[in-house]
Chains A and B, each alone.
Chain A
Amino acid sequence: MKQLSIKKFDADPPKCDCEGNGRSNGDKVTPLQSLQPLSIPMAGAVDEDAPCCGPKPAPPSRPYEKSGYRIVHFVKDFVKTPVGDIPRIETGLKGLDIGGTIRARIGISRDRYKVAPGLYCVGSPDNESPVLVTANYKLSFDSLRKELAGLDAWILVLDTRGVNVWCAAGKRTFSTEEVIRQVKRVELEKMVSHRELILPQLGAPGVSSHKVKKGCGFKVIWGPIKARDIKAFLKNDKRTEVGMRQLTFTIRERIVLIPVELSLVVKPSLAILLAVFLLSGISPDIFSLSAAWFRGLNGAAAYLLGVFAGAVVVPVFLPWLPSRRFYIKGIQTGVTAGIILLLVLGQNITRLESVTLLLLAVSVSSYAAMNFTGATPYTSPSGVEKEMRQGIPVQLLAVVVAVITWVAAPFVS
């Protein structure tokens, strides 16, 4: 077996010969040996004249397939290196990736949407290629790799438990310790001759660059916030321009967050709606099924409009709603939604009931809007806590008054 010099790991196993010999190609080190045993003929050599029944057989298994493992669809092939076969990944997204993104964005299996941590590569990296570090949330991984077309780079994926870089840094799974652990685990020092790691800037809350240097000898270079700036960053001598370091929160970035926010309230909403229908049925005749249904529908409409006003309208119109406090933004949209509902319902409900529905819509909207602080990239925990001390008493009072008047209304009229 030829000794591998760490110069160029460019290899393409699918084309490798089956003689068990490496081929020397100038500076390039090509596969040392086939992964297939010598004695077994190529599975691809199907005798075309053999009797045929049923559909055509599947293509032959590729040399790097391993029993018990499944090769994920974004892996193009494997590159042989001194520390083992490293998957080379595609930079284009396929239908599977887009479908996965949509599911994660609406909150389906979002907490399990992850890739295996470890080392990957794009292009034909060598020992001088940059090492980009990211989280193992599939959306983070996809948004990085789709920006790497034409680049030769190593990608070190941390085990952030399927959470994106920014949130994982906050939860301390994108951390100093995890960077050091993965660098050692993949034996990065044998892969590259330099000692630099490029980390996304939003990982900085969890990673102390000086401690990483101390822990594994690699220097952290803070890369841009967005993967789409990586090429410009690399061209710029690995320095970020001010614009690459600043967060944005555009209308598009806000809208994609809405479905997950809504998916989080589905469960509590079912319980709340059940309570609304039950409370609506309480009547002078103990319980009225028709009241439970018809009054319940009005109550449910007020509740759902409140959710819409707080969790949809507030995020969309965030910069244009007066007041910096989210609970007040929610009150503004909740009042608007409540008034629209009352205009629709018109004379069908009593005055007491209309006040109740308005209060319900407002409190729900205010609470939902306040919850959106957790999804924004600019609200400080101290600020959120401060506004919650004001907002929650207001919301609670409104709900309590709403429930009392809603139950009392049939008895008054």
Chain B
Amino acid sequence: MKDFRYLENVTTLVLDEDKCIGCGLCEVVCPHTVFKVENPKASIIDRDACMECGACAANCPVEAISVTPGVGCASYIIQRWVKGKDAVIECC
């Protein structure tokens, strides 16, 4: 996946290192090797590879990670623009 890079400085990913307990799950679930967990906490080693899937945040037992997960799909985003943020959106 190193051949594919998307836009830089757009991800909403935030890691609170103070809360981190170093369990290592974020590193295990991330499909883009964004995290590295070593002595003893997690750190973000490749922020721009993040695709905001939300796997890390969902699996962090101490809620040290936050990200706005979503669907990176144009027709979904257009529907959200047109119908508003909370509208029921048809699958794309």
Residues of A that sit less than 8 Å from B by CB: 169-171, 176, 201-202, 204-210, 222, 225, 240, 242, 245-249, 318-319, 324-325, 367, 370-371, 373-374, 376-388, 392
Contact = CB atoms under 8 A, between A and B. Distances in A.
Interface string B71-92: 1111111100000000000011
A350 to B, nearest CB: 34
Residue of B29, B59, B78 with most partner-chain A CB within 10 A: B29
Nearest to B5: A324
Contact of A201 (B11, B29, B68, B78): B29
Contacts of B29: 201, 204, 222
A225 B31 contact: yes
B55 A383 contact: no
A249 B49 CA distance: 14
B58 A245 contact: no
Interface residues of B, number: 40
Given A205-B58, A324-B7, 8 more contacts: A210-B61, A245-B28, A324-B6, A378-B4, A381-B68, A382-B12, A382-B68, A388-B78
Nearest to B3: A319
Nearest to A247: B31
B72 A381 contact: yes
Contacts of A208: 58-59
A384 B11 CA distance: 11
A170 B53 contact: yes
Contacts of B58: 176, 204-208
27 contacts: A169-B53, A171-B91, A204-B55, A204-B56, A205-B53, A205-B55, A206-B58, A208-B58, A208-B59, A210-B61, A245-B33, A246-B1, A246-B32, A247-B1, A318-B4, A371-B74, A373-B72, A373-B73, A374-B72, A374-B75, A377-B1, A378-B5, A381-B71, A383-B7, A383-B11, A383-B72, A388-B74
Nearest to A327: B74
B45 interface: no
A265 to B, nearest CB: 11
B28 A380 contact: no
Contacts of B28: 201, 222, 240, 245
A176 B59 CA distance: 10
Interface of B is mostly: loop
Nearest to A318: B4
Contact of A325 (B7, B25, B31, B92): B7
A245 B74 contact: no
B72 A380 contact: yes
Contacts of B32: 246-247, 378
Contacts of B91: 171
Contact of A386 (B3, B10, B49, B76): B10
A240 B25 CA distance: 12
B54 interface: yes
A196 B72 CA distance: 32
Contacts of A324: 5-7
Nearest to A325: B7
Contacts of A169: 53, 55
A204 B59 contact: yes
Contact of B74 (A176, A247, A370): A370
B69 interface: yes
A384 B74 contact: yes
A380 B6 contact: yes
B71 A319 contact: no
Contacts of B1: 246-249, 377-378
A374 B59 contact: no
A412 B18 CA distance: 69
Residue of B54, B56, B58 with most partner-chain A CB within 10 A: B58
Contact of A374 (B4, B54, B56, B76): B76
B31 A384 contact: no
A208 B70 CA distance: 17
A222 B56 CA distance: 12
Given A382-B11, A386-B10, A242 B33 contact: yes
Interface string B1-37: 1011111001110000000000001001111110000
Nearest to B58: A208
Contact of A382 (B10, B49, B56): B10
